[in-house]
Amino acid sequence: MRVVVTGAHGKVGRAAVSALAAAGHEVTATDLTRPVWERREPGEPRYVQADLTDAGQAFAVVREAEAVVHAAAIPDPTANAPQVVFQNNLMATFNVLEAAVRFGVPRFVNISSETVPGFFFAERSFLPDYAPVDEEHPTRPQDPYALAKHFGEQLMDAAVRRSDIRCISLRPSWVQHEGNYERNLGPQVRDSSQAGAGLWSYIDVYDLADAIVLAAESDLPGHEVFYIASPDNAGGHDFAAMLHRYFGDRIELRPLARPDASGISCAKAHRLLGWAPKRSWRDYLDENGRTRQG
């Protein structure tokens, strides 16, 4: 297929571009980064600079696409003014999706977020109702990032009501790669009290890219939402014991697929997408949370 990947120079976008190209798709990459006048490397995808908050630029990029993977976003609400995060993330999603609907693009993959339920960046803190968290968990976002992602999923719902487009929203957990496992997950491996709002959950960027390829190639109708997280937790801790130790009975424990389960369930992605992650923090870190040597 001819696939447009937005946010192509970000952590998720780069991996998605590589995975889609490796799967045989013709990829057009787009981001805010200024292009350079150089001969492309063999197999390097076409690149187009675009500010997707501008509708005209979004339409120009999406034209002739057969699938869109929308990964472009300010990635958290903490380093920009709230209105900047909300306006950028929501309007870019609206413009790219509107272009896809008007051009009759059959498949749209929306990179949403694990933050949609609201307990990650909440100003008035609260805990999830139950764990592992799944797609049925109530959504109560407060911050501009989670709100924009939540509204983005609602835009997908509206798109399938008004057109023949098929949409999939992926909610990745905390995305890791070779260069940041020790910095991000090392503390959780060494000290289980460092649970974070995601309850020790994470996802390897290359496993996420595999899920993106499956979503782009999927024929699932309507709009489906999937959490994407590794099946194990960072540190390989006994999840039930850790949940009780740090949260008591404040979070309902639901059945676990394994003792060292993640705080986020990906059973739906396994069932409907056929997604099976291949990587673990153990491939990168030792039992002390330090980068493996050699």
Per the document, the length of the chain is: 294
> Would you report the helix, strand and coil content of the chain in percent, each value rounded to 5?
35, 15, 50
pLDDT for 245-256, tens place per residue?
Answer: 999 999 999 999
Cα 287 to Cα 96, 154, 182, 186: the distances in Å are: 43, 41, 11, 9
pLDDT for 176-214, tens place per residue?
Answer: 999 999 999 999 999 999 888 899 999 999 999 999 999
**Residue 50 contacts residue 30 (beta carbons within 8 Å):** yes
Q: Which CATH superfamily is domain 2-177+201-232 in?
A: NAD(P)-binding Rossmann-like Domain (3.40.50.720)
State the chain's maximal CA–CA distance in angstroms.
60
For position 196, what pLDDT does the model report? 83
pLDDT for 43-101, tens place per residue?
Answer: 889 999 999 999 999 999 999 999 999 999 999 999 999 999 999 999 999 999 999 99
All structural domains of the chain with their residue ranges: 2-177+201-232
What tokens were used for 161? Answer: 């009501």
In the three-class reduction of DSSP (H, G, I as helix; E, B as strand; rest coil), residue 172 is classed as strand
